[in-house]
A and B are shown apart, each in its own frame.
Chain A
Amino acid sequence: MTEALRVKIEIRDLRAGFAGKEALKGLSLDVLEHEILTVIGPANSGKSTLLQAINRMMDRIPGATVEGSIRLDGRDVRSFDAVEELRRRIGMVFAVPVPLPMSIRENLLFGPLLRRRLRGDEADRLVEKSLRAAFLWDEVKDRLDLSALRLSGGQQQRLCLARTLAVEPDVIMLDEPCSGLDPISTAQVEEALRELKSERTIILVTNNTKQAARVGDRTAFLLMGELIEVDTTERIFTKPSKPQTEDYVTGRFG
């Protein structure tokens, strides 16, 4: 990691909670452009809350509070008048694949069509490009009009990734995307993420420390709503500076 990478998302003193219960206790973190930042930590460490604060999904939860600053390319995420614009720039893939009850093609075009009409063969090109990037094209290219619900779990999750990509976000956040997938599907998703980082910035929350070690450029370790440390993935897994990190990555707890 010699080249100086630009800061894509700058997080300072982020505090967030639900109905008075604090989930993030003053967290500061930079996400660099074109990196895969993996976020690890045991349950209730605030990983998902962090993601939901970044694209303001927290706004949709009654009683949720967010303090501190989050900047995307230097711009405070709260300064977006239309939160939809922010969410189109920071896409999200959830733990459980949620194909919408429509065809594969309609799923992929759901996001783009929210904003504008697609002209000519633009829709076809977008569908193919997104599916290729998610390593799903070859499996479904002959049955794009099939209900997305008929795909297997691994295919559904790659479809969800492709659906997020179709909106062409700068940043993609994934919240334990492989927690329900078999090893082969997991490998395909990881492969897709490695390819994607040349164009995009990726934040991957994972419960699986091995996955973090495999795909992360840098890794952040969260514990009880605090950032214990963030460093290159190699350092986190070989010589972390904090004892808690070492305990966690070596499997002594969590």
Chain B
Amino acid sequence: MRVPPVVAEKIARGLLMLACASAVAVLLFVIGFVMWGGFRHLSWGFLTQPILDMGREGGILPAIVGTLLMVLVAVGIAGPLGVASAIYLAEYTVEGRLTQTIRFGINCLAGVPSIIFGLFGFILFVVMLGFGWSILSGGLSLSAMVLPTIIRTSEEAIRSVPRPFRDVAASLGATRWQTVRRSVLPYALPGILTGVILGIGRSIEDTAVVLFTAGSAVGMPRSLFDSARTMSAHFYILAREGISNDKAYATAAVLICTILVINISAYGIMHRMMRGRRAPSRSARGPAG
């Protein structure tokens, strides 16, 4: 028996819409749940006060600072390193067994659970290199964790730049590096930035790595060699050890807002950079010839 195409079309559209709606609903429910629990306990003081009595009282300022510093170290290292690796893989190598192996390795690394990176960072940075439990150890371990993600998304972004852009630059006498820098990268920038944003997101949300490598000091960090906790770690400790559910929810609310702010501003920057660079849509087209 054959379903008439018109009916199949209706069924398909209905099912697809349902799938999409349930995905959005789950997301909204999670965010709504946390926000509802968190916002009641949010106050200006919560954002600006030190952590008191292990988190039962006071605010989360040290955790906010710790989060920002660790993410900065992580992305500051993994960003340039990852983009450079991606450029090398995409533009400077001929596809072969070696590059396939490298890519396979990167993909595997991207799937390794973060607690493994935590253990790795603990052994290498905390113990062997003697950085101790510190923002530096935490940041470095996080950078190792997000590096594969950044390489993978950047490489895809670079590969998706149409070949003629490279041909044109080469035909005008550009060296390979000039071609990459002036013709390919500007075009690939939004995709690369998306990868970096993903990296930022993963660094912020992670708890396993930072608990292993940055410790969980509640004081305000004074240097990169101080131990500190991130908001995620703070939330984990508050909730896990039953210290304060209210403060835990409030921390989660701040965490979600932070991620939101970072995403929105990153896309804002991207939009500004790309203004006038992409082909305009047909309707937006001016009175050109």
Chain A contact residues, CB within 8 Å of chain B: 55, 57, 60, 62, 84-85, 87-88, 91-92, 94, 96, 98, 100-103, 110-111, 114-115, 139, 146-147, 149-152, 154-155, 160, 163-164, 167
Bound state CA distance, A111 and B285, in angstroms?
27
Question: In the complex, which residues of chain A have a beta carbon less than 8 angstroms from the beta carbon of B276?
Answer: 103, 147
Q: How many angstroms from the CA of A94 to the CA of B165 in the assembled complex?
A: 11
- CA distance in complex: A102, B175 (Å): 19
Complex interface residues of chain B between 147 and 161 (CB less than 8 A to chain A): none
CB neighbours (8 Å) of A139 from chain B are 289
Q: B182 an interface residue at 8 Å Cβ cutoff?
A: yes
Q: B191 contacts the other chain (Cβ, under 8 Å)?
A: no
User: Looking at the complex, which one of B94, B165, B173 makes contact with A88 (CB distance below 8 Å)?
Assistant: B173
Q: Judging by beta carbons under 8 Å apart, are B167 and A94 in contact?
A: yes
Indicate whether A149 sits within 8 Å of B171 (C-beta atoms), given known contacts A98-B164, A101-B186. Answer: no
Contacts of A98 in B (CB 8 A): 164-165, 167-168
Closest Cβ–Cβ distance, residue B175 to chain A (whole Å)? 6
Cβ of A84: which chain B residues have Cβ within 8 Å of it? 173-175
Complex contact B288–A92 (CB within 8 A)? no
Kindly list 8 other residue pairs between chains A and B, CB separation below 8 angstroms, not including A62-B94, A111-B173: A60-B167, A87-B173, A98-B165, A101-B187, A110-B182, A114-B175, A146-B286, A167-B173
Jot down 6 A-B pairs with beta carbons below 8 A, ordered by A. A84-B174, A92-B171, A101-B186, A103-B276, A152-B289, A163-B172
Tell whether, in the assembled complex, residue B173 and residue A114 are in contact, meaning their CB atoms are under 8 Å apart: yes
Binary contact readout B183-223 vs A (1 if CB under 8 angstroms, 0 otherwise): 10011000000000000000000000000000000000000
- Which residues does chain B contribute within 8 Å of A85, judged by CB atoms? 173
A49 smallest CB distance to B (angstroms):
14
Chain A CB within 8 A of B278 CB: yes
A150 in contact with B168 given A85-B173, A111-B173, A114-B174 (CB within 8 Å): no
Minimum CB–CB distance from B286 to chain A (whole Å) comes to 6
Give the 8 A-B residue pairs with the shortest CB-CB distance, closest first.
A111-B172, A88-B173, A92-B171, A101-B277, A98-B164, A152-B289, A84-B173, A149-B279
A184 (CB) vs chain B CBs: closest residue: B289
A95: nearest residue on chain B (CB-CB)? Answer: B164
Which B residue sits closest to A98, measured CB to CB? B164
Contact partner of A147 (CB less than 8 A), chosen from B171, B174, B183, B277, is: B277
A91 vs B167: C-alpha distance when bound (angstroms): 12
Contacts of A147 in B (CB 8 A): 276-277, 280
Docked CA distance A58–B172 (Å): 15
The answer to whether A149 touches B280, judged by C-beta atoms less than 8 angstroms apart, is yes
Q: Which residues of A contact B178 (CB under 8 A)?
A: 114
On whether the beta carbons of B277 and A164 are closer than 8 Å, the reply is no
B170 contacts the other chain (Cβ, under 8 Å)? Answer: yes
Is B183's CB under 8 angstroms from A100's CB?
yes
Q: With both chains docked as a complex, state the minimum distance between the C-beta of B279 and any C-beta of chain A, in angstroms.
A: 4
Q: In the bound complex, what is the Cα–Cα distance between A88 and B171 (angstroms)?
A: 7
- Residue of B at shortest CB range from A85? B173
Residues of B within 8 A of A151 (CB): 288-289
